[in-house]
Amino acid sequence: MAKIVSLSQAVSELVRDGDTVACEGFTHLIPFAAAHEIIRQRRRELTLVRMSPDLIYDQMIGAGCAAKLVFSWGSNPGVGSLHRLRDALATGWPAPLEIEEHSHAGMANRYVAGASGLPFAVLRGYAGTDLPEHTSTISTVTCPFTGEELAAVAALNPDVTIVHAQRADRTGNVQLWGITGVQKEAVLAARRALVTVEEIVDELTAVPGAVVLPHWVLAAVAVAPGGAAPSYAHGYYDRDNAAYRAWDGISCDRHTFTRWLRDLEAAS
């Protein structure tokens, strides 16, 4: 049974320095509250895994949590650059950042392999592109039945996967709906999974298209209302597009970012 605990306790127990951490959520249900708690607890040397680093990893990278980023699309969606990511890559501030770069299809399939208990996944991808030359987790495999050469990508098995969901019941079963991205695969691929939720309810009534994560695959559930903001939680609150635009100004220089970081660390 998943323990229902406070977010600070969950992060403290589940996220360790040097861990490979995947915070997933494709534009929707991005676990910002958990990331901010990781920043406050000053975790270091993390390998951060996420299809689109988005603001959540720009903030963690700027805060000095990351040693490596595994990703497939690095921008502020609908706005432009991720300035903290760019600064870390170009100048090593506040810490040098190694990257491992894939396509979305490659990343999605790496999680599928991880969730399936397989060492790698097969896809039609990367053919003719320059990425395989630079990314050691991309290779090829020959189909034993047809002889066709296909792309192979190494499984992703994060030490910790963190996702945000709409709600959980008192046993710790979790339900999420709307755009559910790659969260199910990322959770099932992980050694430990933490889910933050908008609320705990007595009973999970059925919702069309919902994903349910049973309590026995989760290490902890923590209540974090508003925990996906400034991304959104379908049925609870909308994406704060103004905050995404404002991040461009906050993150574009170290001084304004550092002020933002101090305010974040002071709040709890």
Binding other proteins (rule: CB under 8 A), the pick from 2, 20, 28, 257 is 28
Binding other proteins (rule: CB under 8 A), the pick from 206, 242, 266, 267 is 242
161 near other proteins, judged by CB under 8 A: no
Shortest distance, position 53 Cβ to other proteins, whole Å = 8
Q: Which is nearer to other proteins, 134 or 262 (CB)?
A: 134
Which residue(s) pair with 70 in the sheet?
49, 100
SS3 assignment, position 31: coil
Binding other proteins (rule: CB under 8 A), the pick from 31, 64, 74, 94 is 74
Q: Which is nearer to other proteins, 5 or 153 (CB)?
A: 153
254 near other proteins, judged by CB under 8 A: no
Binding other proteins (rule: CB under 8 A), the pick from 39, 85, 156, 250 is 85
Shortest distance, position 11 Cβ to other proteins, whole Å = 25
- What is the rounded distance in angstroms from the CA atom of residue 207 to the CA atom of residue 109? 26
Q: Are 29 and 233 in contact (CB under 8 A)?
A: yes
Binding other proteins (rule: CB under 8 A), the pick from 67, 89, 95, 223 is 89
52 near other proteins, judged by CB under 8 A: yes
Q: Are 8 and 41 in contact (CB under 8 A)?
A: yes
190 CB contacts (<8 Å, ≥6 apart)? 22, 114, 157, 158, 159, 160, 161
* CB neighbourhood size of 98 (10 A): 12
Size, binding site for other proteins by CB under 8 A? 60
- What is the rounded distance in angstroms from the CA atom of residue 100 to the CA atom of residue 68? 8
179 near other proteins, judged by CB under 8 A: yes
Nearest to 229, CA basis, from 196, 190, 254, 180: 196
SS3 assignment, position 23: strand
* CB neighbourhood size of 268 (10 A): 9
Residues that bind other proteins (CB under 8 A): 26-28, 51-53, 71-75, 77-83, 85-86, 89-90, 101-106, 108-109, 111-112, 123-131, 134, 148-149, 178-182, 184-185, 209, 211, 232, 234, 238-239, 241-242, 244
